Chain A
Amino acid sequence: MTSASIHWFKFASPASFFPLAGRLVPWFATAAAALAVIALWLAFAVAPTDAQQGEAYRIIFIHVPAAWMSMFIYVVMAFWCAVSLTYNTRLAAMMAQALAPTGALFTFLALWTGALWGRPTWGTYWAWDARMTSELILLFLYFGYMALRHAIDDPRRADRASAVLALVGVVNVPIIYFSVKWWNTLHQGATVSLTASPKMASVMLAGMLLMAFAAWFYSIAVALVRVRAIILERERHTAWVADAAAMQQ
């Protein structure tokens, strides 16, 4: 093991991660705000009106990033759950706990903006098609994860039970992603994929990707603030929190 990796594992302890997270938050928050401003400028001032959908298509600049984040955050949350189950580390469970509300928020926003896009484009706010139904199940998985955590008083037991739930639920993520290929859905196929050239103007693609990065940095910043609160809430009984609190006064 190299000295660099020893240094890295130091931050697996809540006591040393707490100040590190505090230092990182302003950088991620600033990056998120700057990227969002550029993305909004591209979305409303630069991107042309869509020939088929008119101005309604401008919703995709937030719909697609929100939908990506809803799935991505779930995978990251499940990853931390797997780490916490395998190595029994407190911080990994706290990271998963901190990500869930933000993931649920982006899932709600993906459904909300999708409904408002679907109404003028497809003529309906909602349909029980595979993509939308599996995305709704994702929202319920986030709610279930949070409710289960909330229902168990002992945080270490809550960590294990909710981690199992999150890991079982991860099977839903590929179902959402591939639903438009596996089933004949009302929801259209992927506009952007890694294997084919994008089916949209490059300025639209740039706006969407910048918004996705903004959402990414926003999620990191918010999750870091939340994990700091969770660290304090859960480590209240420890000496280092008392020391840190005493130093502030």
Chain B
Amino acid sequence: MSATSLSDFLAMGGYGFYVWGSYLVTALALAIEIVAVRSRLRAARAQSTEPR
């Protein structure tokens, strides 16, 4: 693509809302899943070291 400036790039030829709306939500969703799954493992580890 022939984006000459950052604002051109962000505008995505008028489709910025749709393109970045897709990519940002995808990035956010994956980030949330990574954090959630790591904290689940950490919690499971902590549980299993507790005395029963």
Contacts and interface: CB of A to CB of B under 8 A. Distances in A.
Interface of A: 44-45, 47-49, 54-56, 58-59, 62-63, 66, 101-102, 105, 108-109, 112-113, 116-117, 119-120, 218, 222, 225-226, 228-230, 232-233, 236, 241-242, 244-246, 248-249
B9 to A, nearest CB: 8
- Interface residues of A, dominant DSSP: helix
A225 B21 contact: no
Contacts of B6: none
Interface residues of B, number: 29
B21 A116 contact: yes
A172 B32 CA distance: 28
A113 B26 contact: yes
A108 B15 contact: no
Contacts, number: 95
Contacts of B43: 229
B51 to A, nearest CB: 10
Contacts of B45: 232, 245, 248
A59 B18 contact: yes
Nearest to A231: B44
- Interface residues of B, dominant DSSP: helix
B1 A229 contact: no
B21 A236 contact: no
B7 interface: no
Contacts of A102: 33
A223 B22 CA distance: 23
Contacts of A233: 44, 47
A101 B19 contact: no
B37 A55 contact: no
B22 A62 contact: yes
B33 A229 contact: no
A218 B40 CA distance: 17
A242 B45 CA distance: 10
A116 B48 contact: no
A236 B50 CA distance: 10
Contacts of B30: 105, 218
Given A55-B13, A66-B26, A116-B21, 6 more contacts: A54-B13, A59-B22, A108-B29, A229-B40, A232-B45, A245-B45
B30 to A, nearest CB: 7
A117 B18 contact: yes
A196 B45 CA distance: 49
B19 A105 contact: no
Nearest to A234: B44
A45 B1 CA distance: 6
Contacts of A241: 48
Interface in B21-45: 21-23, 25-26, 29-30, 33-34, 37-38, 40-41, 43-45
Nearest to A246: B49
